[in-house]
Chains A and B, each alone.
Chain A
Amino acid sequence: MVTINIHSQINSNKRRSGMLVLLFIILLSVMGFFFGYFLGSWIAGIIIAGTISIIYALIGYNAGASMALSSVNAREITQDTNNLKEKQLYDVIDEVRIASGLPMPRVWIIPSNAMNAFATGTKPEKAHVAITQGLMEKLNREEMKGVMAHEMGHVKNYDTRLLLLTSILVGTVIFLADIMIRSFLWSGGGRSRNNDSSGSYILIVVGIIFAILAPIFAQLAKLALSRQREYLADATAAQLTQYPEGLASALEKIQGDEVPLKGASALTSEMFIKNPTHKRSFATRIFSTHPPIEDRIKRLRSM
C-alpha cells in the first residue's frame, strides 16, 4: 500500500502562493517608486506601476490557462469521443480523479510528436490537463494513467496555481521593466524634473539597473519553488494509481525523447512533465526546476 501525507505540501504551496504575491507587490512597488522618481512624482509612479501590474496580472491569471493551451495548439476532447485511444485517455484521467476526489479536469491533446504532458489552472475546479499526440501513441494504458496521475497530482497539490502566479508575476515584472527602460530612453536619457541634478542622476541610474536586474531576480524566485514539487507529484501519482511502475515505465520512454515541443516558452516550460526546450545550457539548468529523470524513476521503483 502506497501512502504519503501530502497535506503539508498543499498547505505549503498555498502559503507560498501568498508569500509570492506579497514579494512581487513589494518588488513592483519599489520599481514603481523609481519609475515615479524619474517622472517627478513617486506617487504617480507607484500608481501607474500598480495599475499596469494589476491589469496585466488579472488578464494573465484568468487567461493564463487558455494562453498556455493555445500556444501549443491544443484541442479539447470529451467523453463522447469516437477514437478509442482518446477515450482511454479520458477514462484513465477519470479513474485517477475519482481516487483523488477532485472534479474532472478539461482534457486537451497537443498535436506534436514530442513526448510531453502538462497541467494548468488556478484551482482544481478549473483545471486543464494536456498530453501530446506523440506521447499518447507511445504509451500503454497503465503508463498513460501514471503520467496523467502525475499531472492530476500537480492540480491536487495546487502546484498549478503557484506556477501560474509565478509565470504571471515574472511576466509583469519584465513588462514593467521594459516600459521603464523605454520611457527612460525616449525621454532623451537622464532628464529629471528635480532640481538636485547629481542626486537625481544617481537615483535614475539605480532605477535603470534595478529595472534590468528585476527580471533576473524574478527568475531566481522561481527557483525558490524547489524540485520538491516534481517529486511530490510523482509520489501523489503513485498513491493515486497504487501502481508506481506505470509512471516509472512512462518516464523511461520519455527520457529517450529528443523532440522539442514547439510553442513552449521559458515561462510555460515549468508546467511540463519534462523540460520541453532541450537547451543544455548552464542557464537553463540553473533556472530549471525539473529534477533528473533517472532520479525520479529510481524513487518510483523504490516505493
Chain B
Amino acid sequence: MKLAFETILLIVLAAIVLIVIVWIMSFYNRTVSLGNQVQNAFAQIDVQLKRRTDLIPNLVETVKGYAKHEREVLENVTKARTQYLSATSVADKVKTSNQLTDALSHLFAVAENYPQLKANKNFLALQEELSTTENKIAHARQYYNDRIMEYNTYIQVMPNNMLAGMFSKHPMESLKATEREREPVKVKF
C-alpha cells in the first residue's frame, strides 16, 4: 500500500511535535530538579551555622574556668553570637557571622597563653568542634555555589537558553566571598 504524500508529511510533523514536547518537558523537569538541589544546599549551610552557635555557650564556660581575666574576649564572643542570632536580613546575617568568626579566632589565639587550658581535653574537643564547624560552613557554601553554577550553566547553554526565557528561568546569584573573608584574620593583642 503506497502512502499518500500527505500522510507521510503528517506523520513526520507529528513526530517533530512529539520530539519538541519531550525536549521541553525534560528541560523543565531538569531545571526543577537542579533548582531543588540549590535550595537543599542552601539549607545545609544553615545547619552548620546553627551548630556553631549551639557550641559556643559551652566553649565560653570552659574558657572562663581557666582564663577569668579574659572577660572582654569572652564577652565579645557572647555578644557576637547574640547579634548573629538576632540578624534578619541576609546581608546582616553574613556580616554578623563574620564578626562571630573573628571573635572566635581572637578567643582561640588568646587561649594559646594558657597552657592549662590547652591541655584541657574538653577545651581541645571544643576547639576541634568549632574549627570543623567553620570548615563545614565553608564547604556547605562551596557546595551551594557549585549547585548554582550547575543550574546557571544548564539554563545558559544552547539550546536550553531558548527555553529558559519562556519559563522565566533566570541565573541565580552565588555567594561571593565578602571583603572580610578574603582578608586573613588579624588577631590583635
Contacts and interface: CB of A to CB of B under 8 A. Distances in A.
A28 to B, nearest CB: 37
A99 B143 contact: yes
Contact of B139 (A84, A87, A98): A98
A87 B132 CA distance: 10
A95 interface: yes
Given A84-B125, A87-B125, A96 B139 contact: yes
Contact of B132 (A95, A100, A242): A95
A100 B142 CA distance: 9
A101 interface: yes
A84 B143 contact: no
Contacts of A92: 132
A257 interface: no
Contact of B140 (A96, A98, A242): A98
B82 interface: no
Contacts of B93: none
Contact of A99 (B121, B132, B142): B142
Contacts of B136: 94-95, 98
B98 interface: no
B9 to A, nearest CB: 38
Interface residues of A, number: 13
A95 B143 contact: no
B41 A95 contact: no
A88 interface: yes
A242 B142 CA distance: 9
Interface string B128-142: 100010011001101
B44 interface: yes
B128 A88 contact: yes
A242 B177 CA distance: 14
Interface string B108-131: 000000000000010011001000
A125 interface: no
A294 interface: no
A297 B48 CA distance: 33
Contacts of B142: 99, 242
B178 to A, nearest CB: 16
A95 B48 CA distance: 11
Interface in A93-109: 94-96, 98-101
A92 B128 CA distance: 11
A91 interface: yes
Contacts of B143: 98-101
A244 to B, nearest CB: 15
A99 B137 CA distance: 10
Contact of A91 (B121, B128, B140, B146): B128
Contacts of B132: 88, 91-92, 94-95
A8 to B, nearest CB: 14
A111 B149 CA distance: 42
A210 B146 CA distance: 50
Nearest to B153: A5
B139 A101 contact: no
A143 to B, nearest CB: 15
12 contacts: A84-B124, A87-B128, A88-B128, A94-B132, A95-B132, A95-B139, A99-B142, A99-B143, A101-B41, A101-B143, A101-B147, A242-B142
Interface of A: 84, 87-88, 91-92, 94-96, 98-101, 242
Given A91-B132, A94-B136, 17 more contacts: A84-B121, A84-B124, A84-B128, A87-B125, A88-B128, A88-B132, A91-B128, A92-B132, A95-B132, A95-B139, A98-B44, A98-B48, A98-B136, A99-B142, A101-B41, A101-B146, A242-B142
